[in-house]
Amino acid sequence: MTATYRVRKSNNAQVINDLQKQLYDSDELPVFAMDDREWWVVWHGEVSVAYAALRITGSCAWFSICGVVEAHRGHGLQKRLITARLAFAKKKGIASVYTYTINGNHPSARSLIHKGFVPCTPPAEHYGCWAGVRDVLYWKREL
Ligand SMILES: CC(C)(COP(=O)(O)OP(=O)(O)OC[C@H]1O[C@@H](n2cnc3c(N)ncnc32)[C@H](O)[C@@H]1OP(=O)(O)O)[C@@H](O)C(=O)NCCC(=O)NCCS
């Protein structure tokens, strides 16, 4: 029987950092703090195949990362992770969700557009969230 995908909230740092290593193939990546953002993991049977995070700052929330293991791309997992994070933010009373895509990341841009994000100018006080990231397009979704 083919395993189905399950999207679950997670606070398992090991699982998340293992996915991070697998996706970005580097030993020099930051080890994510688990306490300043919310995390979701997609499971395919017993295997973790995708992850995403949301960070809440005041009345806004930020999609801070998302990644899907290559063999599992194109199955709508990023869109499911967007849906899960939007639902969580809405429950928390968040007014706006922001994120960015690095220019040329068409799959990510498509997923955000499908889920109602529109290009925007981010609030200046939040530039610091993206320090060092250049050539990006910013996106916003009102809840
Ligand atoms: C970007 C990423 C998260 C997408 O994950 P995914 O689960 O495959 O995404 P989805 O299946 O939900 O949707 C992908 C969309 O892009 C489309 N797509 C896939 N490859 C594409 C390409 N090369 N060019 C244009 N569109 C493409 C898909 O058809 C789909 O669009 P559709 O819904 O209109 O059919 C995944 O490719 C990934 O992990 N990439 C590396 C890390 C990354 O870029 N993370 C995001 C920024 S932090």
Backbone angles phi, psi at 127, to 5 degrees: -55, -35
* Protein residues with CB under 6 Å of any ligand 1 atom: 65-68, 73-79, 105-108, 110-111, 114
Q: What are phi and psi of 128, to 5 degrees?
A: -60, -25
Residue with the nearest Cα to atom 47 of ligand 1?
66
Please give the structure tokens belonging to residue 141. Answer: 């979704």
The sign one gets for the Cα dihedral 55, 41, 87, 99 is positive
Q: For tokens 């293991």, what's the residue?
A: 69
Could you tell me the distance, in angstroms and rounded to a whole number, from the CA of residue 93 to the centre of ligand 1?
A: 28
Give me 128's structure tokens: 């610091």
Q: Which CATH superfamily is domain 5-142 in?
A: Gcn5-related N-acetyltransferase (GNAT) (3.40.630.30)
Provide the sign of the torsion angle of the four alpha carbons 127, 132, 138, 142, taken in this order.
negative
Whether 89 contacts 61, CB under 8 Å: yes
Kindly give the residue spans of alpha helices, DSSP state H, lying in 7-102. Answer: 13-24, 77-91
One pLDDT digit (tens) per residue for the chain, 143 residues: 567 999 999 999 889 989 988 988 666 555 566 678 899 999 999 999 999 999 998 888 999 889 999 999 999 999 999 999 999 999 999 999 999 898 899 999 999 999 999 999 876 666 555 555 678 889 999 99
What is the value of pTM for the model shown?
0.92
Q: Which of 39, 51, 111, 130 maximizes ligand 1 atoms within 8 Å of its Cβ, making it the mutation to test the pocket?
A: 111
Q: Cα–chain-centroid distance for residue 7?
A: 13
Query: Would you give the distance in Å from CA 42 to the centre of its chain?
Result: 12
CB 79 within 8 A of CB 108: no
Ligand 1 centroid to Cα of residue 96, in Å, is 23
List the domain boundaries for the chain.
5-142
Paired residues of 117 in beta bridges: none
